């Protein structure tokens, strides 16, 4: 992976032009973003200690992975006066963020199948969804996502580029492809195929499973409907939250969005990377009092040291 990225092209660095000239306010922005990162890490790490099944654990681990691919670079760029990033680090960030998004969609799709078995086939659930089956599904989702994105990066990194300007606050693969002087037909075709396999295939599976769940709910008892609502509501909320941001990001990359204000484009492009890791611990029942207690103990500890 590193060898592929180091042999990229004649461009040694990229300039991220979406950052605003904030002057002294950059320290305020840095503080806000750093606080968000701390909250995301704290909430997801604490969630790993909650009683849960393995798919939720995978969600929280993936949130930590995706946040690590975004926030350190974001914090550095906020304080920097020249918003540049080296080509290897840029492709590494693309690999992390794209694989994060792929794993998130695959995991949500597998969770919908898990909910389908729990509601529609309750007597067979323990037999079908064993620990080994869950482990295999999680492993496949990670391996498949990493391989899919590795091919994306390996196709983009050797391109001959005519520029190094990316109008975003983080590195984006399609933005780099648009800078190419060489033929990008293969990149565009593979980009469409990978988008279909990453977004539309999981969404199709989710749609199918929820149609079956609705069918069972309409013909089942009140207890069945209550079980469906309690188990599916967090999953649906998480799915809609992530799909909104991810689909907007795809549209923004593929189509001209110059009519949308720049600050709004920046915020929505960050939505799928920030809000999902923030909301999932809340959606799946993390007791926020734990975060409050930990923050309070840290504050008291600092006061005691002083």
Rounded to 5 degrees, what angle do the CA atoms 246, 187, 205 make?
40
Strands (E), the chain: 13-16, 84-86, 165-166
DSSP labels, 186-229: HHHHHHHHHHIIIIIHHHHHHHHHHHHHHHHHHHS-HHHHHHHH
Nearest to 203 by CA among 63, 100, 106: 106
User: CB count, 10 Å around CB of 226?
Assistant: 11
CATH of the domain at 262: 1.20.1070.10
From residue 2, how far is each of 7, 92, 153, 180 by CA, in Å? 9, 8, 11, 21
End-to-end CA distance of the chain: 47
Instruction: Determine the structural domain holding residue 12 and report its residue range.
Output: 2-305
Please give the share of the chain, as a percent, with pLDDT higher than 90: 37
Residue 285 has pLDDT above 70, yes or no: no
SS3 of 161, please? strand
Sorting pLDDT into bands at 50, 70 and 90, what band is 154? very high
Domain count, the chain: 1
CA–CA separation, 106 vs 242, rounded Å? 12
Residue 60 has pLDDT above 70, yes or no: yes
Token reading at 230: 């309690």
Average pLDDT over residues 174-200: 89
pTM for the structure as a whole = 0.85
Nearest to 202 by CA among 302, 304, 113: 113
Residue 50 has pLDDT above 60, yes or no: no
Residue 21 has pLDDT above 80, yes or no: no
How confident is the model at residue 303, as a pLDDT?
44
How confident is the model at residue 289, as a pLDDT?
47
CA–CA separation, 46 vs 293, rounded Å? 12
């Amino acid at each position: 992976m590193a060898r592929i990225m180091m042999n990229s092209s004649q461009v040694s660095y990229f300039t991220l032009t979406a950052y605003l000239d904030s002057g002294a306010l950059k320290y305020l922005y840095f503080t806000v973003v750093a606080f968000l990162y701390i909250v995301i890490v704290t909430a997801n790490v604490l969630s790993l200690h909650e009683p849960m099944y393995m798919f939720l654990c995978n969600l929280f681990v993936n949130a930590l992975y995706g946040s690590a691919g975004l926030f350190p670079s974001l914090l550095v760029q906020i304080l920097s006066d020249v918003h540049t990033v080296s080509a290897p680090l840029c492709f590494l960030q693309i690999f992390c963020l794209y694989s994060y998004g792929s794993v998130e969609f695959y995991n949500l799709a597998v969770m919908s199948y898990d909910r389908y078995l729990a509601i529609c086939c309750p007597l067979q659930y323990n037999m079908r969804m064993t620990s080994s089956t869950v482990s295999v599904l999680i492993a496949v989702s990670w391996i498949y996502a990493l391989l899919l994105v590795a091919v994306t990066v390996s196709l983009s990194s050797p391109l001959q580029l005519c520029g190094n300007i990316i109008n975003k606050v983080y590195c984006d693969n399609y933005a780099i492809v648009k800078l190419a002087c060489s033929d990008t037909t293969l990149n565009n075709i593979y980009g469409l195929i990978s988008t279909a396999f990453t977004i539309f295939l999981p969404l199709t599976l989710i749609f199918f499973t929820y149609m079956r769940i609705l069918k069972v709910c309409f013909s089942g008892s009140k207890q069945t409907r209550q079980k469906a609502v309690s188990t599916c509501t967090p999953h649906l909320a998480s799915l809609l939250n992530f799909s909104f941001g991810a689909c907007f990001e795809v549209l923004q990359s593929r189509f001209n969005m110059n009519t949308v204000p720049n600050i709004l484009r920046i915020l929505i492009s960050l939505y799928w990377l920030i809000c999902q890791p923030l909301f999932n611990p809340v959606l799946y029942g993390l007791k926020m009092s734990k975060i409050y207690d930990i923050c309070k103990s840290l504050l008291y500890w600092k006061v005691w040291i002083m």
